[in-house]
Amino acid sequence: MTTVAEILKTKPDAQIYSVAPSDSVLAALQLMADKGIGALLVLQDGAIVGIFTERDYARKVVLHGRASGDTPVREVMTHAVRFVRPGQSSEQCMALMTENRLRHLPVVDEEGALLGLVSIGDLVKSVISQQRFIIEQMEQYITGR
């Protein structure tokens, strides 16, 4: 069983990208496009106050006819952010994501300090890697290598 801490260690670019609540949606979208990511944490004084995702943009900006340049992130971000701890398993994260229809989970330590962000893609990659390892072990056992 892989933990969130182990998944974070495997991420080549563990940079945490964020915006402030007062930043424009357009600035947030530009950062997301530049970095090839689908979500940004919204931080104020180092604390997580929300998360802004492509889904937030599609459902709360585009569908409501808002202008990206004139809309601050605070008006359209998701305020209730679910998070995980480093010791939680990939299976626990996937269950939380599935139950709450999430694609990204911030990782925080016991004091609430931000450690990273895991995506559904990170979790799927981890599960596939685990399964590949098990299959290789079974093949070696069967063939006697």
- pLDDT for res 136: 80
For residue 118, give the 3-state DSSP assignment: strand
Q: What local confidence, expressed as pLDDT, does residue 41 receive?
A: 96
Burial of residue 132 (CB within 10 Å: 0-12, 13-18, 19+) is exposed
Query: What whole-number distance in Å separates Cα of residue 66 and Cα of residue 25?
Result: 10
Q: Please give the pLDDT value at position 128.
A: 83
pLDDT of residue 141: 79
Domain ranges for the chain: 4-143
- Which residues of the chain have a pLDDT value below 50? none
Q: Which residues contact 45 (CB under 8 A, 6 or more apart)?
A: none
What is the model's pLDDT at position 86? 95
* pLDDT given at position 126: 82
Class of domain 4-143: alpha beta
